């Protein structure tokens, strides 16, 4: 009799383990997580449909448009309260003009709870391996060998009205800073660690917006004068260092939205 | 014993039911693959082969036959190869292509190479087709090209001595339609891969560049000089095109709106797909309307001939001065480098030439 009870209890516990999803006592709700990349110029949204209009004015007073905006975020990680990292993606390539890459769906579900979200603007040196990523090669995202190879971090281009009132193309390209282009190039990792703080994952699906405020690139700590720095910035080591400094506060957490049923 | 026989009979009946009585066992075409160059294998995603049109030996052979068959045109005068000539890098040397009756079209013929590696599905100068199958329909029916109808073509095919069997073996059909014609052509076109230029060999460590070619590459990659790589690829994008649309500063206003014709978006007026820089040695004249007869003219355009328009690409520099003004030396070297991207084994590959 005793034996039978023990066996019965054992069976129940085994069964309970197997079917823990519908066990009423400890339901572990798991949420789909999507990272949504958006862009703004202060509070004006920047999407493909606003492209090419001279809609924006930077801190230095130049009126400008954006007609190409592509950037790369890498090492996109959610860290739980126990410090366990889950990599959502090694890298994500966002092409605003082609409306591609804005939504990044995590490959696995996450248990409800608090996490910290972190990522990196561009590739860190360890990941910035020349020619290593076929999809980025096909997107013509590479940096030429004389500038150290690897990949762009961002291509932002458009027109600004210069101090002589002439519509002028600018190319705000950020890459790993390169001094002395050529065989003896010296490189400085100018990718940017982006720590977005705590996010709460809830319900069946959680969408976390990460916004790039473009205005920041032109502002802080270096007041950017497009009349001086508008073109040929890739081989300009100092410009790249300034971009890195100005980029520190470009990315912020936006809205977090949930689907509960 | 009797039982055994009964069993045998019923088994036989069962199996015969399984394999349809009326259809003799369907011919199974032999799967085929693209001959992907080593340098592409190292650097690029795999070729794009649609699930509903896998490559087969029979399909490719049929596509090649169709490609060279003048009966695809209204008056049997031209084939695909009339405007896509092997020795001209599978393009032609007219500024704009000539259709049946010598009717001039509006655009320069495009070279056909590495189209299976167009990951973005942008075909034609303006991206008017999103698959090759879709693209091939256009020249066949266009009044300025082959000016034919698929009704006439399928009639021709069914009256032919050997086409019906070829279609049956490639696609398991007895009635040929537009679908099989364009599928076969697309299979052949997908096999047309060019990845064996001097520069490819240089990347594999099998050739050395001359000092001129090396400086030309530096000009091409240097943001302060040529800065060609942002649109036309680089040693890490051996397609030598981004397959995206740009306005590279040819005109102040547009007779041909290019990409803008397709999207209707004024921001796209005057944009055309960046052509690959492979095989320029064979593909003159250049640009969507064939306006430049030589590479000297092309390079002069980028160096000092740029003109402003609202949609000019933001990568175009010093427009007020017409461009960055390359030195004579850099221009010549740039051309030497461009020519190192031409691949004589491609235009002479028997797999792509008429049988
Ligand atoms: C009368 C000349 C002519 C004929 C015949 C012709 N083409 Fe073309 N082909 C062109 C021109 C011109 C273009 C560019 C069209 C455009 O942009 O509108 C082109 C474009 C193409 C492209 C797009 C290439 C790219 O890079 O996007 C493909 C593929 C192609 N042709 C295949 C074919 C096939 C297959 C046939 C036969 C069924 C054919 N063509 C017949 C002139 C021709
Ligand atoms: C902004 C992107 C862009 C840049 C930068 C650029 N090109 Fe182009 N290139 C194009 C486009 C787009 C076309 C086709 C334009 C047309 O026909 O209207 C083209 C056409 C060409 C052609 C003609 C090819 C053919 O088959 O007709 C050559 C050659 C060429 N470019 C070389 C260069 C060189 C050399 C440089 C650097 C000095 C360069 N390009 C820079 C976009 C670009």
Helix, strand, coil content of chain A in percent (nearest 5) = 20, 40, 40
Tell me the pairing of strands A30-41 and A205-213.
parallel
Q: Which ligand is nearest to the CA of B224?
A: 2
Question: How far, in Å, CA of B76 to CA of A230, rounded?
Answer: 56
Q: Is the distance from the beta carbon of residue B78 to the nearest atom of ligand 1 less than 6 Å?
A: yes
B276 Cβ below 6 A of ligand 1: no
A3 pLDDT more than 90: no
Instruction: Tell me which residues of chain A have a C-beta less than 8 Å from any C-beta of chain B.
Output: 51-52, 67-68, 130-131, 134-135, 137-140, 142, 144-146, 149, 155, 157-159, 166-167, 169-171, 173, 231-235
Contact between residue A113 and residue A203 where contact means Cβ atoms under 8 Å apart: no
CA distance B171 to B73: 23
Q: Measured between alpha carbons, how far is A143 from B226 in angstroms, rounded to an integer?
A: 15
State which CATH number among 1.10.760.10, 1.10.3720.10, 3.30.800.10, 3.40.50.880 fits the domain covering B38-194+347-352: 1.10.760.10
* Residue A22 confidence class, pLDDT cut points 50, 70, 90: very low
- pLDDT given for residue A25 in this prediction: 53
Picking from B85, B32, B77, the residue whose alpha carbon sits closest to that of residue B354 is B85
pLDDT of residue B217: 98
Chain A residue numbers touching B319 (CB-CB < 8 A): 169
Q: Look at ligand 1, atom 12, and give the residue with the nearest C-alpha.
A: B109
CA terminus-to-terminus distance, chain A: 46
- Model confidence pLDDT, tens digit, residues A163-209: 999 999 999 999 999 999 999 999 999 999 999 999 999 999 999 99
Cα B205 to Cα B209: distance, rounded to the nearest angstrom:
10
- What is the C-alpha to C-alpha distance for residues B282 and A249, in angstroms, rounded to an integer? 51
CB-based contact A140 B231, cutoff 8 Å: yes
* Closest residue in B to A157 (Cα–Cα): B314
Say if residues A124 and A51 touch (Cβ distance below 8 Å): no
DSSP code of A71? E
pLDDT on residue A35: 98
Q: Of all atoms in ligand 1, which is nearest to the CA of residue B145?
A: 1
pLDDT higher than threshold 90 for residue A222: yes
The DSSP result for A199-240, as a single string, is: EEE-SSEEEEEEEEEGGGGGTSSSPP-TTTSSS--TT-HHHH
Identify the band that residue A7 occupies on the pLDDT scale cut at 50, 70 and 90. very low
- CATH fold group of domain B198-346: Cytochrome Bc1 Complex; Chain D, domain 2 (1.10.760)
Question: Measured between alpha carbons, how far is A96 from A46 in angstroms, rounded to an integer?
Answer: 9
Could you tell me the sign of the dihedral formed by the alpha carbons of B156, B161, B167, B173, in that order?
A: positive
Residues of B in contact with A169 (CB under 8 A): 312-317, 319
Q: How many Cβ atoms from other residues are within 10 Å of residue B206's Cβ?
A: 9
Q: Which atom of ligand 2 is nearest to the CA of B315?
A: 1
Closest CA to A247 of A194, A187, A200, A184: A194
Residue B177, exposed/middle/buried by CB under 10 A (0-12, 13-18, 19+)?
A: middle
Residues forming a β-bridge with A119: A194
CB distance from B222 to chain A under 8 Å?
Answer: yes
Atom of ligand 2 nearest to the CA of B326: 38
Strands A68-80 and A154-161: antiparallel
Tokens read off for A205:
């699906």
Q: Are A201 and A239 in contact (CB under 8 A)?
A: no
Distances A27 to A9, A30, A207 between C-alpha atoms, Å: 21, 9, 22
**Nearest Cα to Cα of residue A160 among A91, A83, A257, A61:** A61
Chain A residues within 8 A of B233 when measuring between CB atoms: 140
Neighbouring C-beta atoms of residue B355, cutoff 10 Å: 7
Tokens of B23: 């259809």
Residues at CB less than 6 angstroms from ligand 2: B 226-228, 230-232, 246, 248, 250, 272, 274-275, 277, 280, 283, 286-288, 298-299, 302, 313, 315, 334
Longest dimension (CA), chain B: 100
Rounded to two decimals, the pTM is 0.91
In this prediction, residue A75 carries a pLDDT of: 98
Query: What's the pLDDT band for A26 if we cut at 50, 70, 90?
Result: low
Cβ neighbors of A120 (< 8 A, separation 6 or more) are A73, A74, A75, A191, A192, A193, A194
Task: Give me A145's structure tokens.
Answer: 């060998």
Residues of chain B contacting A134 with CB distance shorter than 8 Å? 43-45
User: Can you spell out the DSSP letters for B211-279?
Assistant: HHHHHHHHHHH-TTTT--HHHH--TTSTTS----EE--S--SS-SS-BHHHHH--GGGTTBEEPPP-TT
A64 chain-B contacts, CB cut-off 8 A: none
SS3 A79: strand
Instruction: Calculate mean pLDDT across residues A5-27.
Output: 45
pLDDT, position A52: 81
- Hey, what are A168's tokens? 């002028």
Give me the helices (H) in B74-149, please.
80-83, 132-141
Three-class SS state of B95? coil
pLDDT at B15: 44
- Measured over the CA atoms of residue B105, residue B339, residue B231 and residue B304, the dihedral's sign is negative
What is residue B293's predicted lDDT score, i.e. its pLDDT?
98
Confidence band of A65 (pLDDT split at 50, 70, 90): very high
**Length of chain A in terms of residues written:** 261
Residue A25 contacts residue A103 (beta carbons within 8 Å): no
Tokens encoding A169: 């193309």
- C-beta B80 within 6 A of ligand 1: yes
Which atom in ligand 2 lies closest to the alpha carbon of residue B338? Answer: 35
The pLDDT of residue A28 is above 90: no
Tell me if B146 CB under 6 Å of ligand 1: yes
Which chain B residue lies closest to A67 (C-alpha atoms)?
Answer: B314
Between CA A218 and CA A242 the distance in angstroms is 10
Q: What is the mean pLDDT of chain A?
A: 91
pLDDT of amino acid B158 = 96
pLDDT at A49 (0 to 100): 85
**How much is the pLDDT for A20?**
42
Nearest residue to B139 (alpha-carbon basis) of B82, B188, B60: B82
**Mean pLDDT per 10-residue section of chain B, whose length is 355 residues:** 44 43 75 97 98 98 98 97 98 95 94 98 98 98 95 97 97 97 98 98 98 98 96 97 98 97 95 98 98 98 97 95 97 98 98 96
Q: At what angle do helices B150-159 and B163-171 cross, to 10 degrees?
A: 110
Question: Directed axis angle between helix B163-171 and helix B57-67, to 10°?
Answer: 140
Q: What's the CA-to-centroid distance between A113 and ligand 1, angstroms?
A: 57
Q: What is the pLDDT of residues A92-132, one digit of tens each?
A: 999 999 999 999 999 999 999 999 999 999 999 999 999 99
Residue B109 CA to ligand 1 centre (angstroms): 6
**Are A33 and A78 a contacting pair, CB within 8 Å?**
yes
The neighbour count for residue B137, using CB atoms within 10 Å, is: 17
Rounded to two decimals, the ipTM of the complex is 0.90
Residue B315 to residue A171, Cβ atoms within 8 A: yes
Show me where the domains of chain B are located: 38-194+347-352, 198-346
Ligand lying nearest the CA atom of residue B313? 2
């Amino acid at each position: 009799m005793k034996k039978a009870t023990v066996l019965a209890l054992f069976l129940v516990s085994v069964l309970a383990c197997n079917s823990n999803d519908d066990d009423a006592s400890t339901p572990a709700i798991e949420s789909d997580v999507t990272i949504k990349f958006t862009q703004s110029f202060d509070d004006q949204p920047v999407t493909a449909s606003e492209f090419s209009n001279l809609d924006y004015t930077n801190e230095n007073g130049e009126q400008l448009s954006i007609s190409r905006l592509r950037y790369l975020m890498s090492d996109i990680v959610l860290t739980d309260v126990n410090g366990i990292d889950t990599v959502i993606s090694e890298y994500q390539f966002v092409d605003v003009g082609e409306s591609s890459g804005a939504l990044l769906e995590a490959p696995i579900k996450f248990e409800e709870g608090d996490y910290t979200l972190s990522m990196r603007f561009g590739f860190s040196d360890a990941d910035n391996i020349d020619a290593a990523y076929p999809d980025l090669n096909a997107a013509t995202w590479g940096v030429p060998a004389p500038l150290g190879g690897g990949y762009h971090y961002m291509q932002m281009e458009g027109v600004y009205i210069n101090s002589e009132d002439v519509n002028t193309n600018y190319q705000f390209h950020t890459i790993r800073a390169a001094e002395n282009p050529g065989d003896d190039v010296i490189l400085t990792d100018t990718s940017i660690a982006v720590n977005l703080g705590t996010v709460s994952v809830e319900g069946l699906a959680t969408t976390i917006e990460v916004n790039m405020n473009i205005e920041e690139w032109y502002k802080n700590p270096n007041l950017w004068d497009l009349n001086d720095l508008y073109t040929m910035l890739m081989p300009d080591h100092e410009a790249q260092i300034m971009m890195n400094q100005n980029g520190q506060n470009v990315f912020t957490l936006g809205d977090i939205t949930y689907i509960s049923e | 014993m009797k039982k055994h026989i009964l069993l045998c009979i019923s088994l036989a009946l069962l199996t015969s039911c399984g394999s349809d009585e009326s259809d003799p066992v369907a011919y199974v075409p032999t799967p085929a693959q693209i001959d992907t160059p080593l340098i592409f294998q190292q650097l690029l995603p795999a070729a794009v082969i649609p699930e509903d049109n896998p490559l087969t030996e029979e399909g490719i052979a049929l596509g090649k036959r169709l490609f060279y068959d003048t009966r695809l045109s209204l008056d049997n005068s031209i084939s695909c190869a009339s405007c896509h000539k092997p020795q001209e890098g599978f393009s032609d040397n007219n500024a704009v292509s000539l259709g049946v009756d010598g009717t001039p079209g509006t655009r320069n013929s495009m070279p056909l190479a590495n189209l299976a590696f167009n990951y973005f599905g942008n075909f034609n100068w303006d991206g008017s087709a999103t698959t090759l199958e879709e693209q091939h329909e256009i020249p066949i029916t266009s009044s300025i090209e082959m000016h034919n109808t698929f009704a006439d073509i399928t009639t021709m095919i069914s009256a032919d001595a050997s086409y019906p069997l070829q279609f049956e073996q490639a696609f398991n059909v007895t009635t040929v339609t537009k679908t099989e014609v364009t599928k076969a052509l697309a299979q052949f076109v997908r096999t047309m891969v060019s990845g064996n230029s001097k520069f490819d060999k240089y990347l594999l460590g099998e050739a050395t560049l001359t000092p001129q070619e090396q400086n030309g590459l530096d000009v091409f990659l240097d943001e302060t000089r040529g800065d060609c790589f942002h649109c036309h690829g680089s040693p890490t994008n051996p397609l030598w095109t981004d397959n995206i649309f740009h306005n590279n500063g040819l005109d102040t206003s547009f007779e041909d709106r290019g990409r803008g014709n397709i999207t209707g978006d004024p921001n796209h007026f005057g944009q055309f797909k960046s052509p690959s820089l492979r095989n320029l040695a064979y593909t003159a004249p250049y640009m969507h309307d064939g306006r430049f007869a030589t590479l000297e003219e092309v390079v002069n355009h980028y160096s000092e001939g740029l003109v402003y328009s609202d949609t000019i690409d933001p990568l175009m520099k010093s427009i007020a001065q017409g461009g960055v003004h390359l030195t004579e030396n850099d221009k010549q070297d740039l051309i030497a480098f461009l020519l190192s991207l031409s691949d004589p084994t491609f235009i002479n590959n028997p797999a792509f030439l008429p049988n």
